[in-house]
Amino acid sequence: MTGSGKYGIQYASQIVPLCDGWILYGDLTSSRIRAVNAVQGVIGNSYQLTAVPGEMAYDPTRGYLFVILEGASFLAKVDLNTGVVTNILLPAEGVHLAVASNGFLFVSLTENYTWPNETICYIDGTAGTVLGNVSIASYNANAFLACNSAGTTLYVGAEGCSNCTTYQYAFNTATYTLTQQYAASGTYTTNGQDLVLSPDGDHLAWVNGGGNGGSPVYTIFDLFASNINNSYGSWNTGAYPRSAGFSPDSANIGTTNGNDLQVFSVITHSASKPTWFNASAGGVPGPPYNIYDMTRVRFSRGGGYVFGLDEPTYTTPAPATIVWESFP
């Protein structure tokens, strides 16, 4: 189906698109993962969790969805093939995660666990066990994560932190140890919102609410994945960058500044199609405090759709909306 549209869902803050219009989201009111076809308006399966769902990541090779459980020292593993949900024990509450193509994943733990240090767990997703923990000294923040397909390069960015340091590490999958390769700091990282690596492993988008700097200020740098201190250029989202997601072929990137749904070329950094201005319901703060903000943008696994999650930011819980647009 071509065109664009909106599909109302329960209160949610995270989405994982699949194929052909299907999308998974975390229902914060009932602690469930729900599947819906936002394009066709069809409701699919749901999966009960033991706590409120947080960030999610999908392993398409094995059909596993991994879900942070808020306020709990567990990571949920949803087997979409069988519908079985199991919990993986963590040392503390998880915050962010990144899944490699080999079935292993990284989970960053709450900054309160070993503050000011940051602890990251390395997990065998198939076995459901924590293999080892690594620590970053004096990190002082929750950590966004991204990793390459082999799980041998790990990117770490500070959540919601001004002038913090972003790191690139080599990860040894045999000894479970990190070796720092590069670090970047300063206005480059102000109010971190989202961290994503292109499927081809060449481009890193580190989305900061204050922008990555340069001229104009409110841009997302197209960073070299091989060296985060270098950039191919930038995507101009306007104030304030909130989220980004690459297309499966790494040729395009969907972004949002909270209001608009945007798609840019990765090669030219120019718009790939007209911006959907005010795709978010938005609103002005004040009674009944129903202001909305688009907080996540992701491509479908087939690349034929761009999805945005428009969620309430004042009175909650309240319904959220999946915004969709066909591509190209």
What percentage of residues in the chain have a pLDDT greater than 90? 90
Burial of 261 (0-12, 13-18, 19+ CB in 10 A): buried
Range of the domain at 272: 23-276
Asked whether residue 284 carries a pLDDT value surpassing 70, the answer given is no
Question: What CATH number is attached to the domain comprising 240?
Answer: 2.130.10.10
pLDDT of 314 reads 84
Tell me the pLDDT band of 315, cut-offs 50, 70 and 90.
confident
In a domain, 204, yes or no: yes
**Does 325 map to a domain?**
no
The answer to whether 216 and 318 have CB atoms below 8 angstroms apart is no
Mean pLDDT in the chain?
95
Tell me if 97 is assigned to some domain. yes
> Is position 164 within any domain?
yes
In this model, does residue 236 exceed pLDDT 90? Answer: yes
Tell me whether residue 311 is in a domain: no
Task: Tell which residue, 31, 40, 36, has the closest CA to residue 16.
Answer: 36
Amino acid letter, residue 174: A
pLDDT value of residue 162: 84
Extract the tokens encoding 268.
Answer: 């030219």
CA dist 302 and 5 (Å) reads 18
Q: Does residue 163 carry a pLDDT above 90? A: no
Mean pLDDT of 67-93: 98
> Total structural domains in the chain?
1
The reply to whether 312 falls in a domain is: no
The per-residue pLDDT for range 120-148, each reduced to its tens digit, is 999 999 999 999 999 999 999 999 999 99
Residue-wise DSSP of 77-114: EEETTT--EEEEE-SS-EEEEEE-TTSEEEEEEPTTSS
Q: What pLDDT, in 10s, does the model give residues 285-301?
A: 666 666 999 999 999 99
| 133 within some domain | yes
Between 71-85, 210-224, 261-275, the lowest mean confidence (pLDDT) is in 210-224
The answer to whether residue 200 sits within a structural domain is yes
